[in-house]
Structure 1
Amino acid sequence: MDMRSNWKYKAMSTREVGTNYELLAEQFLQEKGMLPLARNQRIRYAEIDLILKDGEYLVFVEVKYRRNQNFSQILEQLRISQLERIKHAAKVWMTIEDIVEHQTSCRFDLVTITGEPFHIEWFKDAF
């Protein structure tokens, strides 16, 4: 029996797999100089995967993972309704955190993670 300790070999729920890729994306963005503020913020019918600070910008990040290297499939899977829910959740989160929207520069980024070994792509101001 193979007793590998690496998380990718364990049987995990979809949520656990998603969390691990979100952590990978967060680490990647930290290495790019961004400061993590929050993770997995659920607000009504939406979830914000990552919230970070990039200089003057408050950045809301959607993380997507696929096993293959086809970025178009990932980008095509982002529905306008999903993006609108994320934007609404960001406004609600800012209100909860007492952040004044019109005084704060915000950005919505996308991080895609594909394949093994991992290929990470960062789309600034993606939506």
Structure 2
Amino acid sequence: MGWTSRLFKNSKEKGNFFELQAEQYLKKQGLTPVTRNYNCRYGELDLIMKDGNTLVFVEVKYRKSEAFGGAINALSHAKQQKLTRTLFYYLKQNRLEDCPYRVDYVAISGQNSEQFTWIKSAF
């Protein structure tokens, strides 16, 4: 069954589904999960993973169509700023300010197939 054939109760359920798909994809690439859906007053981080000793903050976007730029172009400058504030808060709260980190972006596209685009150090 294709992804868009699934019936999701709401956008949160759909988001959780695709975040899990992205996490599984990144695990196959050698990353280790730390947490999913970290929330604070500044925003949400979809996935936090480790690549060796580097913390990797992952933003996940799904679009069923490439119309209007598709998933690959769905990460706005405003969203990047919000993610940056949120990840700095996470680092501070967990006393990880000196830990190496990067921000990756996983774009998932398509109606009936798994099409992942993984951009390391997206911004």
Task: Determine if the TM-score, normalized by the shorter chain, exceeds 0.5.
Answer: yes
CA apart distance, 1:56: 2.2
Across the aligned residues of Structure 1 and Structure 2, the Cα RMSD in angstroms comes to 2.2
Q: Which residue of 1 aligns with 2:95?
A: 98
Q: Tell me the distance in 2 between the aligned counterparts of 1:71 and 1:126.
A: 20
Q: What TM-score, normalized by structure 1, do the two folds share?
A: 0.85
Bigger mean CA deviation after superposition, 63-72 or 52-61: 63-72
Q: Relative contact order: is structure 1 or structure 2 higher (C-alpha 8 Å, sep ≥ 6)?
A: 2
Unaligned stretches of 5+ residues in structure 2:
none
Q: Tell me the distance in 2 between the aligned counterparts of 1:9 and 1:29.
A: 22
Unaligned stretches of 5+ residues in structure 1:
none
| Selected match of 2:113 from 94, 102, 117 | 117
Percent of pairs with identical residues? 35
Tell me which structure has the larger Cα radius of gyration. 1
Q: What TM-score, normalized by structure 2, do the two folds share?
A: 0.87
| Selected match of 2:62 from 62, 65, 81 | 65
For the residue of structure 2 that corresponds to 1:60, the secondary structure is strand
Runs in 1 of length 4+ with deviation above 3 angstroms?
Answer: 69-73
How many residues are treated as equivalent by the alignment?
A: 121
Cα deviation 1:49-79 (Å, max 9, x = unaligned): 0000001211000000000246943343322
Change in 2 beyond 3 A, CA 1:76/1:37: same
For the residue of structure 1 that corresponds to 2:24, the secondary structure is helix
